[in-house]
Amino acid sequence: MKALVTGAAGFIGSHCAERLKKMDFEVVGIDNFSPYYSPDLKDRNAKDLKEAGIPIVMVDLREPKDYKKLDTDFDYIFHFAAQPGIAATSSFEDYLMNNLVATKNLIDFALKCEGLKLFTNISTSSIYGLRATLTEDAAPEPASFYGVTKLAAEQIVLSKTREQKMKACSLRLFSVYGPRERPEKLYTKLIGCGFFHQEFPLFEGSEAHVRSFTFVDDIIDGVVSVIGKEDAIDGEVINLGTEQEHTTAEGFTIVEELLDTKIRKDIVPKRGGDQMFTKANIEKARRLLNYNPSTTLKEGLEKQIAWYRKEFVD
């Protein structure tokens, strides 16, 4: 079996590529090494993948000509590549091109893969809006360019299943954390502030935000469980995340306890589009994928701290 993983040098994509390799897949990773955050971090991830026998091809999904670098003999495509988050530094055009146009171009490529069994689109709980607690058939109310363009990308993918041109599903991920988490994300930034005795910039009011913080290994368990279930999940949207819920303040305290330090807070103005409350409803994932995430927030943060210490401190 052969799998293509887009965004393979990124946080979650790199973990998926490694897991597929361990499952004896032939894996090809692609990434455009966008400077959205330090390319050095993606280079580290790519180095780990190459050492595991996973080639990384530099492909910009927005550029149709770049697809000529790829063969068309893939059995599975896992589409992680995206313009992430709700950063004020990203323009609407960034989200439009990297989330919508890139996905449309990738689908055009996928339709040329005659042996393709399943296209798995990686989506986000941001589609639900400021509160993400409902089932997959709830009306989406995205509150950011990120959520809007990821919803549109999801629908482009699913339109091909309605046309019966390919089998596809879309997985909506909830608040993923763990080793290789992007540097601007909550726990990587918080852990760094703890190690290096820096102030943590905390958005006003965000301590009370509630999240289904989900460890990356639990997410990958769900992602790879689509394999072999193509008929059952064709055309489906499925939530992946933990049912455990924690406030940002609780996560902050756990990190302080694990590092045995107090981290000073610098309260900064609140951020538009930030989700207030998320709790993954995973009844559908349990039924279709036998999904059962089990990592507690403390267990996951212990692993993320160990990774951070090895990569950036020792």
| DSSP 8-state assignment for residue 294 | -
Q: How far apart are CA 276 and CA 143, in angstroms?
A: 11
What element of type H or E holds 43? helix 39-51
Please name which of 157, 93, 161, 88 lies closest in space to residue 127, comparing C-alpha atoms: 157
Query: Cβ(185)–Cβ(147) under 8 Å?
Result: no
Catalytic residue, chosen from 36, 76, 128, 146, is 146
Structure tokens at 203: 């958005």
Concerning whether 308 is annotated as a catalytic residue, the answer is no
Q: How far apart are CA 239 and CA 173, in angstroms?
A: 6
Token pair 């990203």 in the structure block, residue: 90
272 CB-near residues (< 8 Å, 6+ apart): 86, 143, 144
- What angle do helix axes 248-259 and 297-308 make, rounded to 10 degrees? 50
Q: Determine the 3-state secondary structure of 284 from DSSP.
A: helix
Which residues sit opposite 3 in a β-bridge? Answer: 27, 76
What residues act catalytically? Answer: 146
